[in-house]
């Protein structure tokens, strides 16, 4: 058998033809698991640092923690009605007697506040009042006055639920609007301005948003009913209001 020699050029062409018809796919280089883990870790840490402030930023922040108040303030507004047992302190003595006056109306605002969040026994009270007072006397004509007053009181309270025991003291100022003379006239010796002190106390009953108080106060007037020259410039006469006030007040708390 004779062997035929192959043309080397033809053999190379055939190989190229065979390689072109059946291409060999080369797989992409595989990423190492170590590289991917590092990339994920870097990404996660970067995102975490973006959301949370650094230690220096935390130190720069002003963090204020408000303390929890132990006591709470209370506002109350109410209406008042009462009666007065009124007289006067006169010098020289005119044998004055008490007289009952049945007109004592008022609007009351009370604010109970704590003292440095340690004590809640103190309060402030403002009263606008229309009051009737006067006297009977042996040596001068009997007299009654209608007085518009404003009281500013300091209040001390003690709660024994549902009761409240309280005491108050403070100044007042007023203006005498009318008198009981037949002609209701004011004369040159009349003093229409009134001021002095009020002090007293009482008992309250608390029920829901309401409170009812009964109290007794004593009014110590420092402004005479009339000027000293009531009779003459030579013989002076003073007469200062002295009034027991018995009242009841219905409050609404808010």
| Residue 228 DSSP label | G
What local confidence, expressed as pLDDT, does residue 33 receive? 44
- Is 176 within the bounds of a domain? yes
Listed residue (90, 198, 191, 178) closest to 135, CA to CA: 90
Sorting pLDDT into bands at 50, 70 and 90, what band is 38? very low
**Mean pLDDT, residues 100-120:** 87
**Domain membership of residue 210 as a residue range:** 74-253
Higher pLDDT pick, 215 / 53: 215
How many CB atoms neighbour CB 4 within 10 A?
6
Per-residue pLDDT for 108 more than 80? yes
Per-residue pLDDT for 94 more than 70? yes
Listed residue (76, 72, 121, 61) closest to 211, CA to CA: 76
Sorting pLDDT into bands at 50, 70 and 90, what band is 35? very low
**For residue 244, what are the CA distances in angstroms to 113, 169, 172, 176?**
28, 14, 15, 18
Sorting pLDDT into bands at 50, 70 and 90, what band is 61? low
- Is 174 within the bounds of a domain? yes
Report the range of poorest mean pLDDT among 138-147, 210-219, 223-232.
223-232
Higher pLDDT pick, 43 / 199: 199
Listed residue (146, 166, 149, 164) closest to 211, CA to CA: 164
- Is 49 within the bounds of a domain? no
Higher pLDDT pick, 114 / 130: 130
Place of tokens 């008490």: 98
- Is 64 within the bounds of a domain? no
Higher pLDDT pick, 254 / 222: 222
pLDDT over 90 for what percent of the chain?
A: 60
Provide the whole-model pTM: 0.71
Over residues 19-28, the pLDDT tens digits come to 444 555 555 5
Residue 215, domain CATH:
2.40.160.20
Which structure tokens are listed for 214?
């009964």
Highest mean pLDDT among 4-8, 76-80, 179-183: 76-80
Over residues 139-162, the pLDDT tens digits come to 899 999 999 999 999 999 999 999
What local confidence, expressed as pLDDT, does residue 44 receive? 46
- Count of domains forming the chain: 1
- Is 221 within the bounds of a domain? yes
């Amino acid at each position: 058998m004779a062997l035929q020699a192959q043309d080397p050029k033809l053999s190379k062409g055939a190989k190229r033809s065979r390689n072109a018809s059946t291409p060999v796919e080369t797989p992409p280089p595989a990423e190492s698991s170590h590289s991917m883990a590092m990339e994920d870790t870097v990404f996660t840490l970067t995102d975490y640092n973006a959301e949370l402030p650094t230690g220096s930023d935390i130190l720069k922040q002003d963090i204020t923690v408000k303390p929890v108040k132990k006591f709470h303030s209370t506002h109350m507004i109410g209406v008042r009605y009462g009666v007065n047992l009124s007289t006067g302190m006169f010098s020289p003595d005119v044998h004055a007697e008490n007289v009952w006056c049945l007109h004592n109306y008022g609007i009351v605002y009370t604010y109970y506040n704590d003292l440095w969040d340690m004590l809640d026994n103190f309060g402030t009270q403002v009263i606008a009042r229309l009051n009737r007072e006067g006297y009977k006397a042996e040596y001068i004509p009997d007299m009654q006055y209608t007085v518009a007053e404003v009281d500013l009181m300091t209040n001390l309270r003690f709660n024994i639920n549902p009761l409240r025991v309280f005491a108050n003291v403070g100044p007042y100022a007023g203006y005498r609007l009318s008198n009981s003379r037949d002609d209701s006239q004011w004369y040159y010796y009349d003093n229409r301005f009134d001021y002095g002190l009020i002090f007293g106390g009482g008992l309250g009953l608390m029920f829901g948003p309401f409170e009812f108080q009964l109290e007794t106060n004593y009014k110590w007037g420092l402004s005479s009913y009339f000027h000293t020259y009531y009779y003459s410039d030579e013989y002076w006469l003073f007469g200062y209001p002295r009034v027991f006030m018995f009242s009841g007040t219905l409050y609404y708390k808010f």
